[in-house]
Amino acid sequence: MLAITGYANRLSIRPGETLEIKVSSQSVHPYQAQLTRVVCADPNPAGPGWQEIPIDDPINTTYPSRVQPHHLGSYMFADAGEAPPLSKGAITLTALMYPTTPVRGVQGVMDIGPLSLAIDKQGYLCATLDKSTVFTLTEVRPLFERHWYQIFCCWNWAAGIITLGCIPQSTVEKRGSFKKSLNAHALRPPLTSKTYQSPAC
């Protein structure tokens, strides 16, 4: 983690408007602020390089350091030191989930080592291995906001199969229980997959 981090509360302002700079510093010493005009923000040595011009302003002074913690929201961390390696046997990730912002970018749900269960930026359930999207459950609509789902991802190393599933826990139009399996030997193209649909809940 960086010893000092900061951001502006607005991306752009007009003359006369107020801009707030939020800073968190872990140092025991004060930090120095300097207002500058950025002429070129490209540090590439083959180009003009970083160029900035200092601007005289009352903001240019020292400020006392203080830590401003940021909260990640609801999450759980489990020590998986005793978990079997993914290169042996099989493992299943499962969660009862109530997505509140399913279409606000990629969101991790659960992972162990290189295997992850997530929601993609369109709101679909997806599985990833080594940070590459293996497949997405697109046979049905994206996950609905504020609905309960039982989701799971099973990885069988010996068979080379990843199974991704979603079971709605409340009645939703055109929503059933879906399970999708992927032949994932070596996870290299071409990948073959089969899709199964069970009766609607």
pLDDT bracket for residue 187 (50, 70, 90): very low
Q: How far apart are CA 184 and CA 28, in angstroms?
A: 51
Q: What is the pLDDT of residue 60?
A: 96
The pLDDT of residue 178: 53
Q: How far apart are CA 136 and CA 154, in angstroms?
A: 14
Token code pair at residue 145: 């906001």
pLDDT at position 181: 54
pLDDT tens string 50-82 = 999 999 999 999 999 999 887 766 777 777 666
Quick: pLDDT tens for 117-153. Answer: 889 889 988 888 777 767 787 776 788 888 888 888 8
Of 21-35, 40-54, 84-98, 168-182, the poorest mean pLDDT is in 168-182
Residues 109 and 117 sit within 8 Å (Cβ to Cβ): yes
- Confidence check: pLDDT of 101 > 90: no
Q: Would you place residue 175 in the very low, low, confident or very high pLDDT band (cuts 50, 70, 90)?
A: very low
Q: pLDDT at position 31, please? A: 95
Parallel, antiparallel, or unpaired for β 192-197 and 178-183?
A: antiparallel
At 37 the pLDDT is 93
